[in-house]
Amino acid sequence: MFTRSRACSLVVLWLAVSLAGAAPSLTSDQSACLAKGHRFVRGGWIYLHCEGGPRERGFQHGYLLAKEIAENLRVTRQLWTYGSSMDWSWLLDKTAPFLEPKVDAENLAELDGLVEGLKAAGVESSRRELIVFNAWMEVDWYWWPKELKTLKDGPVPAVKQSCSSFIATGRATSDGGVVLGHNTMIDYPEAYFNVVIDLQPARGHRILMQTAAGWIHSGTDFFVTDAGLVGSETTIGNFDGYDEKGAPEFVRMRRATQDAGSIDDWCAIMRRGNNGGYANAWLVGDVNSGEIARLELGLRHDRLEKSRDGYFLGSNIAEDPKVLRLETDANENDVRLSSIARRVRWKQLAGQSTGKIDLKLAKRFEADHFDAFFNHNRAGGRSLCGHFELDDQSWGAWPGAPFFPAGTIDAKVVDAAMARHMSFAARWGAACGKAFDAPKFLAAHPQFDWMKDLLKSRPSQPWVEFRSGE
C-alpha cells in the first residue's frame, strides 16, 4: 500500500537526491532532523511540516524550501535596490543592529537552523540577512520612509494597503460559531506567500499558517492554533510612525501565536514592546468560546474590541479615532480610495448576510468585484478581490501608477469546525480565480519592463483544504 508516510519519505528522499549535486552531504544528526519534516504541493501551495526544537524546525524549513528561499531573497534584494537606489548590504548594515537585539532566543535559534538548512542544501545566507528578510514589510514600508526623510526633501512612499478581512460570530453566522475570511493584496512581484506551514514546536502551541519560504512568522497573516485561536490582519493605511527601540512585528507575531492560549494573552504579547512596524488591525477569534476581537495597533495608540455576537471588518482604514486622526493622514470619506470603497462594500455584505455567514459566503466575499465608487461590479483596485493591474487608477493613491501589477494573490477561509481540526481552506492566485499572465501583461504595459525577471504568472487554481498532520 502506498501510504501517506511513505509518500512523505519519498518527497524528502527526492529532494535530497536532487540537491546532492550542489550540496554537501548531511551529517547523521542533520539526516535525523530532516526525517521529521516534509513538503508537498497542492493547488499552487507548498505544504511544509516542521517539528521539534527551534534549530530542528529551522533546519527542516531551510533545507526543504532552499530553492524557494533563494528565489525569494533574490527577488527581495532586487526590489529593494530598484525601489530605494541603495545596496542590499547597506540595508542590512543599517537595520540588523537594531533588529537583532530584540529577537528572542527561540526565534534566533530557529533562524540559525534555517541558515544551517540552507547551507546544507547549497544556499548561502546569514542570520543577519534572514532577520532583515523576516522584517521586510516593516523595514521597507515603515523604517525606510522615516529614513528617507533624512536623505531627501519631498514626499516619501506611502504605506501599502494590504488585505481585506472579516471575522464574524454569534447571530451573524449560520451556526453561531466563528467564521474568518482573508485575502492578501500586495505588489505581484512579492507574491511569494504560497506556503502553508504546519509547525509542531517542542514547546508551545501547534500552528497552521500561511507564510513565505524563509519566514518564521506569517506576514500575510492567516493562522490557526491548537489553542482554538484563529487570526488575520489588515494593514492600517496611510500610517506614519516607527520606533527602532521596540520589538519587530515578526518577533511579536510569532511569539503571540505560538505562546498564547487566549485572545487576551495573544493581544498582550503583540502590545509588548510594540515598535509601530507593520501597524495592523488584527482580527482574532477563539472558536472554543465563540468570542472575536479586533486589536487596532498603532504606535502611540491602540484599541481592543471584543464581541460574542456580530462581526469586525478590515480594509486598511483605521476605525479607532485616535489611530485615524493622530497616526494616519487618511480621509475616511473618500470612496475613490480602495480602503474606503472596500469598507463600504464589507458593510453592505455583512449587513445583507447577517445570520447566514458560512464558509460558502466567506469565499464569495473574498472574490467580490463590486466597486462602491461606481456602484456596480467592476474588477479593479477598489474591489475586495483587488485587481490594480486592470485599473487606470485615476485617484492616484497606492500603488501609485495606472495598471500597476498589484492586487489580491490568495483567499483563505476557516470556521469553528475546521479550526477545531486545525484546518482551513485556501485558494492560491486571485480570490476570484482569474489567472495572471506575466509575459502578456508586460507586453501590454512596457513601462514595467524592469520587472521582467521578477514578475511571475499565476494560473487559476481551485480551492483546496489543508490540515495539521498531513
User: Residue 138 sits in a domain of what CATH number?
Assistant: 1.10.439
**Same domain for 173 and 102?**
no
User: Of the candidates 88, 120, 148, which is a domain's last residue?
Assistant: 148
- Give yes or no for residue 60 having a pLDDT over 90: yes
Q: What is the pLDDT of residues 20-38, one digit of tens each?
A: 444 569 999 999 999 999 9
pLDDT of residue 130 exceeding 50 = yes
Residue 274 belongs to domain with CATH number:
3.60.60.20
Contact 275, 248 (CB under 8 A): yes
Are 422 and 293 contained in the same domain?
yes
Residues 427, 301: one domain?
yes
379 and 238 co-located in one domain: yes
One domain, residues 334 and 404: yes
- Mean pLDDT value of segment 195-224: 98
Hey, what's the cell of 372? 462602491
pLDDT at 419: 98
pLDDT, tens digit, 9 for 90 and up, residues 172-191: 999 999 999 999 999 999 99
Give the pLDDT confidence of 160-170 residue by residue, as tens digits.
778 999 999 99
Q: Across-strand partners of 372?
A: none
DSSP-assigned letters across all residues of 268-297: HHHHTTB--TT-EEEEEEETTTTEEEEEEE
Residues 172 and 143 in one domain: no
Cell of 233: 490582519
Do residue 116 and residue 173 come from a single domain? Answer: no
pLDDT at 15 (0 to 100): 52
**pLDDT by residue (tens digit) across 424-449?**
999 999 999 999 999 999 999 999 99
Quick check: is 92 in a domain?
yes
pLDDT at 412 (0 to 100): 98
The verdict on 179 and 85 lying in the same domain is: no
User: Is 298 among the domain residues?
Assistant: yes
Establish if 361 belongs to a structural domain.
yes
* Inside any domain, residue 376: yes
- Which range of residues forms the domain containing residue 323? 164-188+230-467
Do 174 and 85 fall into the same domain?
no
- Same-domain status, 118 and 234: no
Closest CA to 179 of 292, 294, 267, 258: 292
Separation of first and last alpha carbons in the chain: 17
Res 375: pLDDT: 97
- Specify if 218 maps to a domain: no
- 170 and 91 both lie in a single domain: no
Task: Please indicate, yes or no, whether residues 91 and 34 belong to a single structural domain of this protein.
Answer: yes
pLDDT higher than 70, residue 6: no
Number of domains in the chain: 2
Q: Would 222 be classed as within a structural domain?
A: no
In a domain, 206, yes or no: no
- Cis omega (within 30 of 0) on the bond before 439? no
- pLDDT at residue 73 tops 70: yes
Task: Give mean pLDDT, residues 2-21.
Answer: 45
**Is 224 inside a domain boundary?**
no
Average pLDDT (303-309) is 98
What are the DSSP E strand ranges found in 193-345?
Answer: 195-201, 207-211, 222-225, 229-235, 280-286, 291-297, 302-307, 310-314
- Residue 199: pLDDT above 90? yes
Residue 11 reports pLDDT greater than 70: no
Question: What is the torsion angle, in degrees rounded to the nearest 10, for the CA atoms of residue 127, residue 130, residue 136 and residue 140?
Answer: 50
pTM of the model: 0.94
Confidence at 18, pLDDT banded by 50, 70, 90 = very low
